Amino acid sequence: MRSPDYLESLNPQQLEAVTHYGTPLLILAGAGSGKTRVITTRIAYLCDVAGFDPRSILAVTFTNKASREMAERAASLSPGTRGVMIRTFHSFGAWLLRRNAHLAGLKSGFTIYDDDDSLTLLHSTQDSRKKQDLKRYVRMISRAKDYALGPEDDLTTISSDPELPRLYRLYQERLDRMGNVDFGDLIMKPVRLLGEVEELRRRFHQRFKAVMVDEYQDSNVAQFKLLKALSGPDTDICVVGDEDQSIYRFRGAEVQNILNFSREFKGTRVIRLEENYRSTGTILAVASSVIANNQERLGKTLWTRNPEGVRARIVYLRDHDEEAEYCARLLGDRRYSDTAILYRTNAQSLAFESVFLRRGIPYRIVGSLRFYEREEVKDVLAFLAFISNSLDEVAFRRIVNKPARGIGNTTLQRILDQAEGDDLLSACEAILPSLGGRSAAGLAGFVDLFRRLQQMLESAPLAEVIELLIRDSGLYEYHQKQDEVAATQKTSNLEEMVNAAADYGRGPEALVSFLEDIELDRSRMTAEEESGEYVTLITMHNTKGLEFPRVIITGMEEELFPGNNGFREVDYEEERRIFYVSLTRAREELILTSCRSRFIWGRRNLQSPSCFLREIPQERVEVEGDEKPAASAALTYSPGDGVYHDAYGTGVVVKSWLNGERELIIVRFETGRSATFYPEFENHLERVYIDEF
């Protein structure tokens, strides 16, 4: 049989990765090494040449965008791939649970809770406590589920807080009683089902003969356990990833999953993809030199046929204001869409925003409030969730009196007591005869609306159902008034909800699919346009999977990057991986900036250059500016000098000295208060002549 044409464009390592099957395979795919091409070509090869039934292949990744791209590219290579299941981890978990809901104690139309919903649910079990105080417990519960730990397990690895097991148990009991799930359950419940129900496990082993996982370095412990549970004795397992790009530990990602893969899956073949198609030789040399300092890695050395390109630049600047001005000057060439400005924390964007607005430089901030996280949109989603599952207490609490219908806390509690974990809409109908006045009229209208929507859902297009919901619920009028007051675009977002549902057809299945797609990938639709001429302002974490001709990495200073949040010891290996990912986003030009001072928490801090800058080979960079300010020839203040400070008033210098290369003074003010200043950085201090006080 003649080899498919799509194999001809592969390099030797890519070809080996595509054509290997029969034993576990770990593909270590360096940045820019054509990973997506390898995955999609391997899917086509398994179908066309290796004889796998497309329905027996499962490919798993981490975002809906990536899964859609994978499916499209595989189909473009071979029409025989159209039956392959390509999903995110969470989408696959939801698919498994909906088809085996009875085994998990769920209804097939269950709602998937996000963090806000989870917080509301936990708060409903702890009415006397503030929501703000419970946020950390929601995070702990989420982290526990990342490790596939239930409330009955030892949770001390998550937290030693003695309240965690009790609150976790109350939360999970309430969630299970309503028949809903949170994101963690979408992985943990399938893991437990496959472990406990032998017939289900055997059925899945027979169904899926090949399982592939993309971005495996981002998987958590629960996802690893799901992969193990899906792996039968004859399952062809392949994972693709790069341990050097494991940067999501704060989300539960466990780098040990990829480091230990060969030990967990005996007979693993390891193939390294090291040829980079994205960056210049200089950029790769800088990135490789930095990441080589990490100990926890399997190791690879990127190389390229691309030109060496220009040297990287390290630019030392006075402060964050000068840093923003420097970037604005660079953008005088109007290469807006070519340029990304990276920073470690969101707070760093403010200086760039201020300067760019003043200079008329177009920009967008990646990671701003997502469309599906906006108040008015979540209101509609809560209505839809309650139509899908009238046991959903969290959705019910959000919508029963929004807009106001005269249904106060007393009436709400009566409804909840009447329901006792059962159908809340029926509970509303049951207490209606005992109500009077506005609350009776309001609740009757609420029930009537939902009964009409439920009936309409059976036959009408989903978009029409949502349009009626928005109008007849009063939400459109409610948010229209807010638009008039605050000049927002809430009603436009409500209209966009109708547009978003247009492709989902009709019937209850359409509603379930619509809600599931939204909950599993909330970042799919944002309020901002995805194309246009603008500079990209983005955190280092959010750059994963992106690339730009010119990358400016800002804030290269100790305690900012590598970061120190004051709560735990700096993980230099994780921070170095974040730096490596940032470096490898650049295709042609790489610039790194470091400031000598920066406002942090309202105070000007003196900064030291990041230790990572010392790991860059000096022959690959050009340096601009001075790493440190020149030493003072002499002290400019002496004891007895009078000064005036905008915030403190009049005072006198009581001590002055050189702290390293910078002058430091102590001033005693008329109020009796003393303060210490670096005059070089203190804009509110001036010398005055005063009588001794």
**31 annotated binding-site participant:** yes
Residue 277 phi, psi (nearest 5): -105, 5
Residues 6+ apart with CB under 8 A from 174: 121, 124, 125, 393
DSSP 169: H
Neighbour tally for 485: CB within 10 Å: 7
Determine whether the annotation assigns residue 411 to a binding site: no
Of 117, 182, 185, 215, which residue is the catalytic one? 215
Phi, psi dihedral angles at 204 (to 5 degrees): -70, -35
650 annotated binding-site participant: no
Q: Residue by residue, what is the 3-state secondary structure of 394-450? A: HHHHHHCCCCCCCCCHHHHHHHHHHHCCCCHHHHHHHHHHHCCHHHHHHHHHHHHHH
Q: b/e map of 521-545 (b: 16 or more CB within 10 Å)?
A: bbebbbeeeeeeebbbbbbbbbbbe
Active site residue 196: no
What number of helices (H) and strands (E) belong to the chain?
Answer: 26, 22
214 is catalytic: yes
Interior/surface letters 410-437, b for 16+ CB within 10 angstroms, e for the rest:
ebbebbbebbeeeebbebbeebeeebee
Please check if 32 is assigned to a binding site: yes
Contact 418, 435 (CB under 8 A): no
CB within 8 A of 116, min separation 6: which ones?
378
Residue 658's beta-bridge partner residues?
663
83 annotated ligand-binding residue: no
Distance CA 56, CA 71 (A): 15
Catalytic residue, candidates 41, 245, 280, 554:
245
- Active site (annotated) includes residue 217: no
Strand 181-182 to 112-113 pairing? parallel
Please report, for residues 24, 37, 206, 241, the alpha-carbon distance to residue 277 in angstroms, rounded to integers and kept in the order given: 27, 12, 39, 17
Q: From the candidates 14, 35, 88, 236, give the one annotated as an active-site residue.
A: 35
- The residues pairing with 605 across neighbouring beta strands, listed in sequence order, are 598
Residue 29 assigned ligand-binding role? yes
625 belongs to an annotated ligand binding site: no
Strand ranges, E, within 524-637 = 535-539, 548-553, 586-595, 597-600, 603-606, 621-624
Which residues are within 8 A (CB) of 486 and not within 5 positions of it... i.e. 6 or more apart? none
Contact present, 201 and 194 (Cβ < 8 Å): yes
- Interhelix angle 131-146/164-178, rounded to 10 degrees, is 80
Catalytic residue among 585, 587, 596, 662: 585
Residue 455 annotated in active site? no
CB 684, CB 645: distance < 8 Å:
yes
Extract the annotated binding site.
29-36
Extract the annotated binding site for ATP.
29-36
Catalytic positions are 35-36, 214-215, 245, 585
